[in-house]
Structure 1
Amino acid sequence: MLSLCRPAGRCRPTLLALALFAAFAPAWSHAEDVVESSVDAGIGFVDGSRADRAQFDQYSGLRPSQSVFGIFGADYYRRNDETGVAVGFHLSDLFTDNRELALRWGRQGDWKLAASYGELMRRETVQFNSGIAGAGTTTPRIVPVLPGTGSDLDLATKRQALGLGFTKVISSRVQFELSGRTEHKEGSRLSGVGFACPSAVGNGCTGTNAAQVGSAVLFVPEPIDADHHQVEARISYAASNLRLGVGYYGSFYRNRLGSLTPGLPDSLFNPVGTLLPVGAGLAGILGNPVALPPDNQAHHLELTGAYLYNANSTVNFKLARVLATQTDSFTGHGFTTRPAGVNDLGGHIVTNLAQVGFSTRPMARLSVQGHVRYEDRDDETTLQPYNVEGTNVFTNRQLPYRTTKAKLQANYQFAPDWRGTLGWGRELIDRGVFTPSSATSGVTALRQDTRETVWRAELRRQMTEDFSGAISYDHSERNGSNWLRDNSGLGVTEVPDANAPGTGFDRGIFMPTLSDRRREKLRFLADWQPMEQLTLQGALDVGVDHYSAPGVYGLRSAGMRQATIDLTYAITDAWNVTGFASWGKQNLDQGKPDAAFLSFDNHESNVGVGVTGKATSKVELGLNLSHLRDRATFAQVLDATASGADAALLAASGGLPPITFQQDVLRLFGRYTLDKNSWVGAEFSHYRTRWDDWAWGFAGTPFVFSDGTVGTRQEVQRVNVLRLVYTYRWQ
């Protein structure tokens, strides 16, 4: 098998050898073989500057400076009906960085071999100009430069994946399956380090003044060089009324890079652009190594089965056990500050799962389904004193998690075209006993147990001559046990009445996933054909969540509305029109610290129209036009207890500006048939993107890091793409 080798000597297998094998497979063929094959070859052209193409090139597989690219793809399929042997091969995007190859070869009812190879390139849409040296390594050196005077950087990650699979039918009742996949990922992605002084966790760390910089945000790309291996095996047994399966799944993640340690300069820019010496306390914190994703592995073993009790009733079950570990060495990755005698996390999590379900039809018009699922995740990670704050010492926290879910649903056929559904569900979550030697930050209190009950009702009209539809309603309520106040290394205290005076919860912060919640959701579906040439499909979803937590802060309500419609209209036998439109809104209302209240609203609209048809017997033409707009707004208000400075700032700034993403795409395409086996095609696409995001710039001023790195994204981007392709097919 051929391979790709890097300068370091690491080689990755490819499927080129398999492709050649598939292409020259006729050695085993006979006159009665069925052959279906095709080849697509052509050339493409793309315009636009590097800034114009930032969004387009995110997943295009093209280099940012590439204006001409090749197009090549192939499909090959051969089947021998006498022997039952078939082979198939697929190849696409050979001349880009997103190439894919796949092979299928086997004998029907006996064995099957599958192999695949794929690549995927992702490029960062934000362009960076920086003085950093060694970007993409584990030891970059920060070099402060005046904004815009550094070097341009393109951050990108590339994935290369190889998969192999084999299936063998051992007997009429037993089948064996084995598959594996390995993926290598390398490159660099956006990341950084930062800290603001003074801080309780930074001794000797003082703030910014006229003589020094006490806070900073630095551009430090994360280097990537990792492999993920997966193995899966299964034996299946099938009798007349019994199905059994035993399976294993293994996941192995290996990262060659364990930590990122930036080299700091003596001076950095303060928020107004003045170069000042870095405070000693800040330098000590920013210079610490940053942990990268550690090596880990997981082993999953399961037993599944189904039993056909009679023609109308089936019982199924699943038993599984998962062991996940993380024991990557601290010392091996440069972390010398750690508890005495501790060289790794000792991560050890065991998960046990049991599930049983049934499906039955006790009478002709009634069917009932249900299941119960129990999952217990036992966190056995070693406890060590990792966190030290002055004289206080805290350990890490174990996170056990036990869930029990039950679901019951009944369907009743009232009439040939009317069916009703009633459903009930229950979910219980037990987060285990809080680790007494640990501490929490960022939240005021926790909950050990939450309970949620779900009810669902649906009425559906089956397809008649011209209309079908459904209406459904979902209602759920979640509550839980008493809130638990953290005592900073001395366990927790249960608070029976969180709203009572003296608890301190009135200005507390509580996780919305633990808060009481009431959810309502209504959905309408319709499929209508008012005339033979026209078909309409539509859906409307409306939902609202109400949260109840102690105090005035946190998430209070959330809502969503979504409407979609699709249509197909046949103008003539040769010409068709298709169209779609969707509109959606999501909103969150929450109270925030310092007497601020935020209402987040996200509106999205998406419309499109397409026309396809035949101008002559040999000429096919088409047009697609689409428009997408996504707008997020942040309405902010203050209550009467807000400080004068906060009120003045909000009045002067107007609060956070909106973020808008808009994309318009025009696609024109045509095909001219040369003969029954070949044709030529042309496609022209125009992309216009507008992305106004204040995170990277506002009112023409780009975001600048403390080292002078500038991150920019051109607000309006335009790209034109032309593809010319020749296709030949044979049988």
Structure 2
Amino acid sequence: MKLPFSFQIKVAATLLIIASSVWAEQDEDIKRLTKPQSTINFGAGYLFNDNARFGQFNGLRDDGFYGIFNLDIIRRNDDTGTWFRLQGRNLGFRNRDVRLEHSRQGNWGYFFEFSQTPRYEPFTANTAVGGIGSSHLQVPTTPTAGGPEHLKTERESFAFGINKFLPANFELQLHFKNEDKDGARIFGRGNRLGPPGPTAVGGYEFLPEPINYTTRIFGATLNYNGKDLQLSGGYYGTLFENKNKALTTTGGSSVGGIFAPALFTPIALPPDNQAHQAFLSGGYSFNPHTRGTFKASYTIASQTDGFFPTQLAAPGAPSNLHGKVDTTLVQAALTSRPLSKLNLLANFRYEDREDKTPVFLYNPNAFNVDLNGNRWTGFNTPRSFRTFTNKFEANYALPMNLRLIGGIDYEHWDRTGTPQTTGHRNSTDELSGRIELRRTMAETVTGTLSYIHSDRWGSHFLTQTTATGQPFFNLIAPINLADRNRDKVRLLLNWEPFEPLSVQAAVDHSWDDYNGDRNNSGFGIKKGIARNYSLDAVYTFSENLQANAWFSRNETQIDQANRTPAPRVPWSVKLENLSTSFGVGINGRPHEKLDIGTNITYSEITDKFKQSITEVECCPGNTPVPDIKFKQGRWNLFARYALQKNLGLRLDYILDYFKTNEWTWSGWTYTDGTRLSQDQRQWVNFLGISAYINWQ
């Protein structure tokens, strides 16, 4: 049947309108790529509460007004394919950064970058120590109360880099970064011998360390990108300079004889050092199913800064450490799919950190000093490490939508050490086996169940002796070196019951059994348990409304047996770390001109010590250590309203809450009278109103 001509005209017109709409959307997408949008955001915010935690890294510590200024300017020259971009973030705050990029696609490019990062000490130091921030401090000779001091450090860095594409698929990259760090941070000196009380000698004094560092990082990289072969090689270097060679003091406590804090001056500060590395990495595709990658590097790190003061060097010892550490790294991996259902992975890593620092006797009187029964030899102790790591994994597809994965990991460590200077062991080995089963249980549910078992063992522990030749009282094997058996089970689920909803859940549980100690002492860590639970969900109500929620729970526990130095009474501790966190967020567009979003997060961390002393009479007045708790919550709210297509207003609100009963410094007073304190409950409100301008 032939349709009327007028109807044909209407159908054609409708199709033309639909096509025009599709073309318009495509043109808009193309326009966003070729003519990207630039934005400037400016305004002001007000902080309603003084605080120490909320503004620790952004400078928003004191109540009052702060500027809001962000920019992202992008320009493209269609004739030359040249891009220009200028980004500025948090320009009204103290943690600001600016980056300028200029490039021509596939030809050349360069960038300049400047950033500032503050770090405010969350504790207030009430101290009478003078000269804070300098390398010479005046310390009270008797306990003296002082006024509040707020320590901080600030980093300023400037960086630039260039890249140039060369013929034959080569690219050259050069980069340089200069970072200055200034300020002061918590530091101290002294020692205390004997149990707390009137019989103890010595003490601890508050000495803020002056920070005046410069770090320079630079390098060059030559890349090759072929069809099957990719290579990247070059040089990477660092130079560290500390403008303060030593910290000197006047005053201080003279109580304690040779252990008096006032005798510890000058104190050497971190010395200048440098490192230089040559590296080469790459990958090669042998065929569509097999690919290999590798990485190799050689690094020389040295420290030849002169000792301060030089007259303290022992006869025959050099005027500087002549420190040198050479590090060799070789890593290779191979992935292959020899069968349609089988995937293989093999990985090898070797690292040799060789400490070539010469050994000298820097303190010939050290053998006459016996601190807590420990012998101090007066020699420096170079430490070298050599590590072998191997990994193999096989992945095979089974019937019924099952996939079986098996893996073996092996790690070997070699360390240098001498009985007089270390309580470690020279070598450790760890072997792990893993088996994993994955299954698509339905179109909407995927699950993974895995089991991992690992064993760690090693050579005998070195025997440390006192100045009289007796075994040193410390018989505890360090947790990272002790023999250990670990079993771990992990369950992962991914559930998408219907298109708008996606849920991921994870549970893993591990058990550690430390079945070895030093010299059959019975002391040290015994068992450990770790549990982790997490849940994430995302729901899309519509194109203009999305929501998400997450929950995380972590539990870690270790049991340890110990004893006091004298009169060596056994005691135990069951350390626990419990953390719970959750968050909820919603983003939506209720109106074509209005975008809103809100996000709430909360976390709580508790550290439990659970001490148990079997003979209370050993330590009169001793009480179990109380728990430490941290609580932090934050509510973020934003709203953006478009006054015009390219002009609008934005509102930001932040409510931040912090609470702790952290007791580490409560009731503690330095020998000079300094006390550290913090507000254990902090509420912060921040409200910002700004305007934004967009253009293309």
Give TM-score scaled by structure 1 length: 0.83
- Pick from 71, 75, 79: which aligns with 1:74? 71
What's the CA shift for 1:219? Answer: 1.2
Q: 2:642 aligns to what? A: 673
Q: 1:649 aligns to what? A: 621
Q: 2:395 aligns to what? A: 411
Change in Cα spacing, 1:609 to 1:244, as seen in structure 2 (3 Å) is closer
Does residue 297 of the first structure (1) align with residue 278 of the second (2)? no
* Unmatched runs of 5 consecutive residues or more in structure 1: 1-31, 200-205, 269-276, 493-502
Q: 1:278 aligns to what? A: 255
- Pick from 85, 88, 91: which aligns with 1:88? 85
Q: 1:525 aligns to what? A: 492
Residue type at the aligned position of 2:692: T
- Give 1:162-201 correspondences, 5 Å limit: 162-197=158-193
For the 8 Å contact 1:289–1:335, the answer to whether it is kept is: no
What's the CA shift for 1:315? Answer: 2.6
Change in Cα spacing, 1:505 to 1:223, as seen in structure 2 (3 Å) is closer
Give the 3-state SS of the residue equivalent to 1:57 in structure 2.
coil
What's the CA shift for 1:569? Answer: 2.7
Q: 2:694 aligns to what? A: 729
What's the CA shift for 1:704? Answer: 2.1
Residue type at the aligned position of 1:514: L
RMSD over aligned Cα atoms: 2.7
Does residue 484 of the first structure (1) align with residue 462 of the second (2)? yes
Q: 1:19 aligns to what? A: none
- Give 1:238-253 correspondences, 5 Å limit: 238-253=225-240
Q: Which stretches of structure 1, 4 residues or longer, exceed 6 Å deviation after superposition?
A: 144-147, 503-507
Partners of 1:682 and 1:166 in 2: how far apart?
Answer: 38
For the 8 Å contact 1:663–1:689, the answer to whether it is kept is: yes
Partners of 1:484 and 1:645 in 2: how far apart?
Answer: 29
Partners of 1:223 and 1:719 in 2: how far apart?
Answer: 30
- Give 1:476-555 correspondences, 5 Å limit: 476-486=454-464, 508-547=475-514, 548-550=516-518, 551-555=521-525
Change in Cα spacing, 1:463 to 1:620, as seen in structure 2 (3 Å) is farther
Partners of 2:297 and 2:548 in 1: how far apart?
Answer: 47
Q: 1:596 aligns to what? A: 571
Partners of 2:233 and 2:540 in 1: how far apart?
Answer: 51
Does residue 457 of the first structure (1) align with residue 439 of the second (2)? no
For the 8 Å contact 1:673–1:680, the answer to whether it is kept is: yes
Partners of 1:575 and 1:319 in 2: how far apart?
Answer: 49
What's the CA shift for 1:286? Answer: 4.3
Q: 1:431 aligns to what? A: 415
For the 8 Å contact 2:464–2:472, the answer to whether it is kept is: no
Change in Cα spacing, 1:482 to 1:152, as seen in structure 2 (3 Å) is closer
Partners of 2:34 and 2:84 in 1: how far apart?
Answer: 11
Residue type at the aligned position of 2:580: S
Q: 1:559 aligns to what? A: 529
What's the CA shift for 1:248? Answer: 1.0
Q: 2:222 aligns to what? A: 235
Partners of 2:193 and 2:467 in 1: how far apart?
Answer: 25
Residue type at the aligned position of 1:480: G
Q: 2:28 aligns to what? A: none
Partners of 2:325 and 2:592 in 1: how far apart?
Answer: 65
What's the CA shift for 1:82? Answer: 3.4
Q: 1:499 aligns to what? A: none
Give the 3-state SS of the residue equivalent to 1:261 in structure 2.
strand
For residues 286-325 of structure 1, give each alpha carbon's deviation from its aligned partner in whole angstroms, at most 9, with x where no partner exists: 4322221111111111222333222222233333211111
Change in Cα spacing, 1:306 to 1:624, as seen in structure 2 (3 Å) is closer
- Pick from 592, 602, 605: which aligns with 1:627? 602
Does residue 313 of the first structure (1) align with residue 294 of the second (2)? no
For residues 180-232 of structure 1, give each alpha carbon's deviation from its aligned partner in whole angstroms, at most 9, with x where no partner exists: 11111000011111212479xxxxxx9956xxx93322111110001111112
Partners of 1:462 and 1:537 in 2: how far apart?
Answer: 14
Give the 3-state SS of the residue equivalent to 1:160 in structure 2.
strand
What's the CA shift for 1:718? Answer: 1.0
What's the CA shift for 1:115? Answer: 1.8
Does residue 255 of the first structure (1) align with residue 252 of the second (2)? no
What's the CA shift for 1:284? Answer: 6.2
For the 8 Å contact 1:197–1:207, the answer to whether it is kept is: no
What's the CA shift for 1:279? Answer: 4.4
For residues 588-609 of structure 1, give each alpha carbon's deviation from its aligned partner in whole angstroms, at most 9, with x where no partner exists: 2111223110111111111222
Partners of 2:127 and 2:142 in 1: how far apart?
Answer: 7
Partners of 2:248 and 2:339 in 1: how far apart?
Answer: 69
Q: 1:124 aligns to what? A: 121
Give the 3-state SS of the residue equivalent to 1:549 in structure 2.
coil
Partners of 1:719 and 1:553 in 2: how far apart?
Answer: 46
What's the CA shift for 1:675? Answer: 1.5
Does residue 422 of the first structure (1) align with residue 406 of the second (2)? yes
Give the 3-state SS of the residue equivalent to 2:37 in structure 1.
strand
For the 8 Å contact 2:108–2:164, the answer to whether it is kept is: yes
Partners of 2:173 and 2:327 in 1: how far apart?
Answer: 24
For the 8 Å contact 1:312–1:362, the answer to whether it is kept is: yes
Q: 1:350 aligns to what? A: 326
Give the 3-state SS of the residue equivalent to 1:484 in structure 2.
coil
- Aligned-pair identity (%): 30
- Pick from 329, 334, 337: which aligns with 1:361? 337
Partners of 1:56 and 1:111 in 2: how far apart?
Answer: 42
Residue type at the aligned position of 2:54: F
For the 8 Å contact 1:133–1:142, the answer to whether it is kept is: yes
Partners of 1:393 and 1:123 in 2: how far apart?
Answer: 39
* Unmatched runs of 5 consecutive residues or more in structure 2: 1-32, 370-375, 565-569
Q: How many residues align?
A: 647
Partners of 2:34 and 2:332 in 1: how far apart?
Answer: 47
What's the CA shift for 1:507? Answer: 7.1
Give the 3-state SS of the residue equivalent to 2:258 in structure 1.
helix
For the 8 Å contact 1:623–1:667, the answer to whether it is kept is: yes
Q: 1:24 aligns to what? A: none
Give the 3-state SS of the residue equivalent to 2:106 in structure 1.
coil
Give the 3-state SS of the residue equivalent to 2:663 in structure 1.
coil
Partners of 2:411 and 2:46 in 1: how far apart?
Answer: 55
For the 8 Å contact 2:190–2:261, the answer to whether it is kept is: no
Residue type at the aligned position of 1:606: S
Q: 2:555 aligns to what? A: 585
For the 8 Å contact 1:408–1:425, the answer to whether it is kept is: yes
For the 8 Å contact 2:377–2:420, the answer to whether it is kept is: no
Partners of 2:347 and 2:452 in 1: how far apart?
Answer: 19
Q: 1:329 aligns to what? A: 306
Partners of 1:506 and 1:208 in 2: how far apart?
Answer: 24
What's the CA shift for 1:517? Answer: 1.1
For the 8 Å contact 2:204–2:261, the answer to whether it is kept is: no
Q: 1:158 aligns to what? A: 154
